[in-house]
């Protein structure tokens, strides 16, 4: 019974962690685009995005990432035989890479908190989809749990990445067209 409670908590914090990862990059995009606005809108918007990013990042995203890790490790402690299974080993690699993504997002967060902008909104739109790819990969691995399904899933993963990239490019073209009108 303890296992099910720990698993439920793990899933809840995975959901809130991903929500934070998805939304923080959107705030980064809005922050960068606010720099193109005229005063006083620019200052007001940037101040608001800095405040909202800090609340989201430090109040939701980081705590959720830490609690996800704690409950995930607890699950592995309760059922250590999962560590010898290929699907779990690959999932853990993806999770490790997701924490690297989180740390890279933290670097961007700190830059924007200091009003140091090194990315375009288009670059961050692409960056935002990296979390989507991790989500798909991790969920399919944990649900399907087989090597053949992992190969099929990897092919789907690549197709999803291509679709996301094309969608971002199409959105950019639509946005630029609407700005000209």
Q: To which residue do tokens 């607890």 refer?
A: 74
Cβ neighbours around 102 below 10 Å, total: 19
Q: Which residues are annotated as a binding site?
A: 10, 91
Spatial separation of the C-alpha atoms in residues 153 and 136, rounded to whole Å: 9
What does each C-alpha distance from 143 to 87, 131, 153 come to in angstroms?
9, 18, 11
Tokens matching residue 25 = 């990059």
Spatial separation of the C-alpha atoms in residues 138 and 118, rounded to whole Å: 30
| Residue 150 contacts residue 90 (beta carbons within 8 Å) | yes
- Please enumerate in sequence order all residues whose Cβ is within 8 A of that of 49, keeping only pairs 6 or more positions apart, or say none: 27, 30, 31, 34, 112
H/E element holding 61? none
Q: Which residues are annotated as a binding site for heme?
A: 10, 91
């Amino acid at each position: 019974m303890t296992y099910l409670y720990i698993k439920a908590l793990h899933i809840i914090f995975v959901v809130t962690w991903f929500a934070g990862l998805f939304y923080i990059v959107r705030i980064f995009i809005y922050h960068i685009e606010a720099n193109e606005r005229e005063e006083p809108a620019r200052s007001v918007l940037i101040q608001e995005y800095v405040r909202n990013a800090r609340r989201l990042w430090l109040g939701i995203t980081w705590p959720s990432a830490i609690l996800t890790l704690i409950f995930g490790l607890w699950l592995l402690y309760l059922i250590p035989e999962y560590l010898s299974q290929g699907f779990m080993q690959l999932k853990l690699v993806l999770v490790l890479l997701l924490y690297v993504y989180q740390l890279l997002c933290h670097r961007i967060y700190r830059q924007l908190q200091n009003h140091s902008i090194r990315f375009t909104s288009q670059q961050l739109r692409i960056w935002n989809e990296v979390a989507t790819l991790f989500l798909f990969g991790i969920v399919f691995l944990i649900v399907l749990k087989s090597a053949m399904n992992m190969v099929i899933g990897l092919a789907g993963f690549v197709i999803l990445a291509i679709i996301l990239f094309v969608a971002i490019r199409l959105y950019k073209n639509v946005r630029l067209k609407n700005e000209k009108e």
